[in-house]
Amino acid sequence: MSGLETAIRNALDRSDRADGQTRAKIYQSARQALEAGLRRQGVTDTLIIMQQQKRLEEKIREIEAEEIDKLAAPSAEQDRPADLVEVEPEPVHSPRQADMHDEILLEGETRRLDGHADVEPDTRIAPVSVEAPQAMVDAPLPQPELGVQASSPKGRRRRARSGKPDMAAGPGAKPRRRRGFLSRLATWMITLAVVGIACWWFYQSGMVQSVLQEAIQAADRAAQGSGRSNAAFDPRGGFSDEWTEIFKPADVAALQLGSQAKAEAVDGSEGRAVRLVSAAPGEDGDIVIQVPAEVLREMAAKSSTIALTVQSGMNQAAQMSVRCDFGSLGNCSRHRFTATQERLEALFKVTFERTIAPNSPGRLVINAGIDGPDKPVLLYSVRILPGR
């Protein structure tokens, strides 16, 4: 502030320094010159402007205190008419203006940062007029505009909620505008419309109906399964009168067992059944069911269907094989089936071209030892549907 202080003191020396109003005008001219110089330098940082203004006000108070002390004691100096106030603000070096080499226009002179001055006659500030001497007035010094203090986080949050712009922002920043009620309502309406369209498309695509139908069918199957588990097994369930039953659990004594095969009547989850166990996959593990000769005569020269109702006798699946030996009518190849934990119908077709049927019973051979010993199979019934 050495340049500003020198300019103020020179102006006081050339004016009626005993007049308080004259001194106030000189101080005000210095403030205006400082603001003009900062604008010419392109300084927009609020903190730097506040610091410069504060330093100027401190210097003005110091000079004013000296003037008051001088007026208290008679001075021999003669008053001279006021002349121009030449104020030169200190160059401000901010991080953003480190490369600037601006010129400051103060009191009709263009002062560069190197201290040289060029005269510009058309841009001078009007000189301070000196009025008639009057009683000394201790004019109060105007307080500097220290600008906007740095706002606290709470203040910023309050301004954000109230929609007021943050004064700490730069002069080029635009204040935030609160969203109106209509814009919020439009946003909610658009969101609801999108959700509604998505739900409508999901319903029209049939996904809802398919999911509901599958759930209903699963519930029906579960109800039917629970009902069957509580009721006794129906030997003719699912078969018409055209089917001929050639074996039922009560006929366990009529089975022909190999040396490594066993059969015993048990109570299965679906009712009475025969538990078949084959310790060997060969003839020693075979279990033979006889087929009456009258049934074989009905099968002659026709395609017939044989059905075995079976279930695994343990908590995992079990393999079994079935083959037939019907004497002069013919034989059928071996068929392999998998018995699961649920009751199922093992079906296979046989076709015989011969018309001459044997007079003796035929043989239906079952072996439950394909996967190894001790893997039982539950046999509920055996039926044959003669061809037409």
pLDDT of residue 202: 80
Instruction: State the Cα–Cα distance between residues 371 and 281, nearest whole angstrom.
Output: 8
Q: Do residue 142 and residue 8 come from a single domain?
A: yes
Instruction: State the Cα–Cα distance between residues 355 and 300, nearest whole angstrom.
Output: 5
Under 8 Å between Cβ of 56 and 37: no
pLDDT band for 128, please (50, 70, 90 cuts): very low
Query: Tokens at residue 183, please?
Result: 């814009």
Q: Assign residue 267 the CATH number of its domain.
A: 2.60.120.260
171 domain-assigned: no
pLDDT of residue 74: 62
Identify the domain boundary among 125, 148, 171: 148
210 domain-assigned: no
Host H or E run for residue 222: helix 207-230
Residue 18, judged by CB atoms within 10 A of its CB (0-12, 13-18, 19+), counts as middle
pLDDT of residue 319: 92
Under 8 Å between Cβ of 233 and 265: no
pLDDT band for 201, please (50, 70, 90 cuts): confident
What integer is the mean pLDDT of 49-71?
90
77 domain-assigned: yes
Q: Which of 30, 24, 36, 35 is nearest to 84 (CA)?
A: 30
Query: 355-374 pLDDT, tens per residue?
Result: 887 889 999 999 998 888 88
pLDDT of residue 340: 92
For the full predicted model, state whether its pTM sits above 0.85.
Answer: no
pLDDT of residue 177: 64
**Residues paired with 365 in a beta bridge:** 288, 323
Query: 8-45 pLDDT, tens per residue?
Result: 888 888 888 888 889 899 989 988 988 888 899 988 88
180 domain-assigned: no
Instruction: State the Cα–Cα distance between residues 359 and 293, nearest whole angstrom.
Output: 6
193 domain-assigned: no
Tell me which residue range forms the domain holding 285: 244-385
Highest mean pLDDT among 14-18, 204-208, 236-240, 260-264: 260-264
20 domain-assigned: yes
Judge whether residue 78 has pLDDT over 80. no
Which range (59-73, 196-210, 277-291) has the least confidence? Answer: 196-210
Identify the domain boundary among 148, 183, 217: 148
The overall longest dimension of the chain from CA atoms, in Å, is 165
Query: What strand order describes the sheet that includes 318-325?
Result: 256-257, 287-291, 362-367, 318-325, 331-339
pLDDT of residue 176: 64
What integer is the mean pLDDT of 102-107?
40
Q: Measure Cα distances from 206 to 2, 172, 215 in Å.
A: 87, 57, 14
Highest mean pLDDT among 129-133, 209-213, 310-314: 310-314
What integer is the mean pLDDT of 371-380?
89
Residue 100, judged by CB atoms within 10 A of its CB (0-12, 13-18, 19+), counts as middle
Judge whether residue 247 has pLDDT over 60. yes
Under 8 Å between Cβ of 352 and 330: yes
226 domain-assigned: no
pLDDT of residue 144: 42
Judge whether residue 129 has pLDDT over 60. no
Instruction: State the Cα–Cα distance between residues 28 and 141, nearest whole angstrom.
Output: 9
pLDDT of residue 116: 41
Instruction: Annotate 234-269 with three-state secondary structure.
Output: CCCCCCCCCCEEEECHHHHHHCEECCCEEEEEEEEC
Query: Tokens at residue 57, please?
Result: 């006000």
What integer is the mean pLDDT of 88-114?
43
Instruction: State the Cα–Cα distance between residues 322 and 348, nearest whole angstrom.
Output: 10
Q: Measure Cα distances from 371 to 149, 259, 273, 314, 365 in Å.
A: 91, 18, 21, 13, 17
What integer is the mean pLDDT of 224-244?
61
How many distinct structural domains can be found in the chain?
A: 2
Instruction: State the Cα–Cα distance between residues 385 and 383, nearest whole angstrom.
Output: 7
Instruction: State the Cα–Cα distance between residues 244 and 334, nearest whole angstrom.
Output: 22
Query: 152-188 pLDDT, tens per residue?
Result: 555 555 555 555 444 444 555 555 666 688 888 999 9
Mean of per-residue pLDDT scores for the chain: 75
Helix (H, G, I), strand (E, B) or coil at 86: coil
Which range (118-127, 234-243, 273-282, 350-359) has the least confidence? Answer: 118-127
Per the document, the length of the chain is 388
Query: Tokens at residue 121, please?
Result: 């006659």
Under 8 Å between Cβ of 291 and 364: yes
pLDDT band for 226, please (50, 70, 90 cuts): low
Identify the domain boundary among 101, 123, 148: 148
361 domain-assigned: yes
pLDDT of residue 221: 76
What integer is the mean pLDDT of 82-92?
49
Under 8 Å between Cβ of 34 and 26: no
Instruction: State the Cα–Cα distance between residues 303 and 310, nearest whole angstrom.
Output: 23
Instruction: State the Cα–Cα distance between residues 342 and 202, nearest whole angstrom.
Output: 37
pLDDT of residue 347: 94
Tell me which DSSP letter residue 188 carries: H
Contacts of 227 (CB under 8 A, 6+ apart): none
